[in-house]
Amino acid sequence: MSGRGLVKRIDWISVFLYAFLVFIGWINIYSTTLSNPDGSIFDFSTLYGKQLFFIIISLGVIVLVLFVETSFFERFASIFYISSLVLLVGLFLFGKTIAGATSWYDLGFLNLQPSELAKVTTALALAKYLSDIQTDIRNKKHQLYALLIILLPALLILPQPDPGSALIYFSLFFVLFREGFPLYYLGILVIIVVLFATTLMFGTVWIGIGLGTLTVLTFLFKRKSTKIPIIPLSIALVLSILFSLSVNFVYENVFEQRHRDRFALWLSLEKDKDKLEEIRKTIGYNTYQSEKAIESGGFFGKGFLEGTRTKGDFVPEQHTDYIFSSVGEEWGFMGTTTVIIVFSLFFLRLIYVAERQKNDFCRMYGYGVISILLIHYIINIGMVIGLLPTIGVPLPFFSYGGSGLMFFTLLLFIFLKLDSNRLRDGL
């Protein structure tokens, strides 16, 4: 394959959006971690210097990926997947503990996080399995295998403990839905989440009354011709009520106080205003500071390097998970909306690119990439702006961290490499 052909065929729009996000991300890391304004940006003792170093490494990763034979990724997908599972298991023996989570291998110059690697390999493995000519997504047994591919790494990551990373794998359900996995599974998932939240907010009695009213209304306003399956409906009703009751039990007896506090904060369950404020400032300290920092940016922001809360290091983890709050404070509403719009365009472009694939494996892998990046984006920004409870996941391409940046880059550019090859026959 010639380099010239590659330059022509690669999707430059995606590459450009990627580069833009990495650049903006670095600018904000620079602002949050700057302590000596006279220092060089190549000073590798500083975090922004280190991140610059990782960006250069990522460039190396990109070059490497682009010159690898395309079929390599599909052919060895299972092996990659199994190796990453082995690495995850290995953590129980050789893992390095940082901030309470045994999620890293200490490689000396870099802490490697196998859960990051596993995101790539799981996406590949899932794509490979689903694109196999013998796999039929409508077959229950095959559905189960696909679920296992997704859930196995998640189950290994959960006890590290790293629930945030484990949660990411669930995004791969989007791939399944795209490939014909029945959509009502999604419906059930949504109903479960809604029931969970509403039970906490209103209590089982009101859920019962609400569901009952809904049922009665359905019967009242149905068309004469429509037949309602009475038995499944009643089972669903009973199950919902039982689920609602179990939520109360789980919430009171299985959850710990810190979990309850997070929910209390997120759903405003605490009715006492002062107490809620108290929780906001203690349990919700990170989110509180982050919201305040974003709020104080206003429309235009305080300007680059002028963010007082950013400078004062008020938002914890601001260069990693809470990097978006620095955008909010220094660049204001203009900056935050720009980032949201660029991210959205990026995802829409990737979806477009995925849909134009003729090869099933490429499309499925593409969907895997998009799902993983999208779920990071949703959970991270949702948390930083106070819409979601605190779950520690980084913002792709933005957050400080070499391992993260490298694997997100790897994830993306394998897809762009596959895409660049789409007009050729076979792989």
Partner 1 sequence: MKKLLLSSVVIIVGFVFISRLSYLQLFSFSPNQTLEDPAIKAIYDYPERGYVYDRNGELLVGNQPAYDVMVIPREVQPLDTLEFCNLLGIDKKAFISKMKRARTYSPRLPSVLVPQLSKEDYAGLQEKMRHFEGFYIQKRSLRYYATNSAANVLGYISEVNERDLQNNPYYVAGELKGRTGIEKQYEETLRGRKGVKYIQKDRFNRDIGPYKAGKLDTLPQQGKEIRITLDKALQEYGERLMHGKRGGIVALEPKSGEILAMISGPTYDPALLVGRERSRNYTKLHYDTISKPTWDRSILAEPSPGSPFKTLNALVALQEGVIDTSTKFRCYNGFYVGNTKRGCHCGGGMRDLNSGIYQSCNAYFAGTFRKIYGKYKTTDEGMDAWEKHMKSFGLGGYLGTDLPTGRPGRIPDKAYYDKAYGDNRWASSFIISNSIGQGEVAATPLQLANMTAAIANRGYFFTPHVIKSVGNGSIDPRFTEPRYTTIDRKHFEPVIEGMANVYKYGTARWVQVPGIEIAGKTGTVENFVRINGERMQLTDHSVFVAFAPVENPKIALAVYIENGYYGARYAGHIASLLIEKYVKGEITRKDLEKRMLEKTLEHEYAKPYSGEPFKINEYVW
Q: Mark 137-156 with x for binding to partner 1 (rule: CB under 8 A) and - for no binding.
A: --------------------
The binder of partner 1 chosen from 153, 332, 368, 402 (CB under 8 A): 332
Exactly one of 347, 360, 391, 427 binds partner 1 (CB under 8 A); that residue is 347
Out of 119, 128, 280, 309, point to the residue binding partner 1 (CB under 8 A).
309
Work out whether 187 is an interface residue with partner 1 (CB under 8 A): no
Query: Using CA atoms, how far apart are residues 251 and 415, in angstroms rounded to an integer?
Result: 41
Among 39, 180, 187, 212, the residue binding partner 1 under the rule CB under 8 A is 180
Contacts for 218 with CB less than 8 Å, ≥ 6 apart: 228
Nearest to 377 by CA among 400, 357, 397, 361: 397
Binding mask 364-383 for partner 1 (x = CB under 8 A): ---x--xx--x--xx--xx-
DSSP state of 251: I
CA-CA distance, 425 to 65, in Å (whole number)?
20
* Cα-only R_g, the chain: 24
39 is a site residue for partner 1 (CB under 8 A)? no
Q: Considering only residues 235, 341, 356, 358, which one is a binding residue for partner 1 as defined by CB under 8 A?
A: 341
Q: How far apart are CA 83 and CA 81, in angstroms?
A: 5
* Distances in whole angstroms, Cα of residue 314 to Cα of each of 171, 382, 393, 413: 32, 19, 19, 35
Maximum CA pair distance of the chain?
A: 78
Q: Which of 164, 173, 171 is nearest to 103 (CA)?
A: 164
Can you tell me which of 271, 312, 423, 425 binds partner 1, judged by CB under 8 A? Answer: 312
**Residue 311: CB minimum distance to partner 1, A:** 6
**Interface with partner 1 (CB under 8 A), residue from 93, 183, 220, 254:** 183
Decide if residue 178 touches partner 1 (CB under 8 A). yes
Looking up tokens 């009475």 gives: 230
DSSP 139: S
Query: Is residue 248 at the binding interface for partner 1, with CB under 8 A as the rule?
Result: no
Nearer to partner 1, 277 or 355 (CB): 355
Measure the CA–CA gap between 399 and 275, rounded to whole angstroms. 32
- Adjacent-strand bridge partners of 96: 104
One of 6, 333, 360, 391 touching partner 1 (CB under 8 A): 333
Region binding partner 1 by CB under 8 A among candidate stretches 54-62, 234-242, 263-271, 384-392 = 384-392
| Amino acid (1-letter code) at residue 188 | I
Q: How many residues would you count in the chain?
A: 427
* Total residues at interface with partner 1 (CB under 8 A): 43
296 binds partner 1 (CB under 8 A): yes
CA distance linking residue 273 with residue 276, whole number of Å? 5
Closest CA to 161 of 85, 90, 98, 112: 98
Q: Locate tokens 């076979």: which residue?
A: 426
Q: Does residue 123 interact with partner 1 by CB under 8 A?
A: no
CB atoms within 10 A of CB 23: 12
Among 53-61, 72-80, 171-179, 203-211, the segment contacting partner 1 (CB under 8 A)? 171-179
Beta carbon nearer to partner 1, 334 or 427: 334
CB of 91 or CB of 373, closer to partner 1: 373
Report the interface residues with partner 1, using CB under 8 A: 174, 177-178, 180, 183, 291, 294-299, 306, 308-309, 311-314, 328, 332-333, 336-337, 340-341, 343-344, 347-348, 351, 355, 367, 370-371, 374, 377-378, 381-382, 385-387
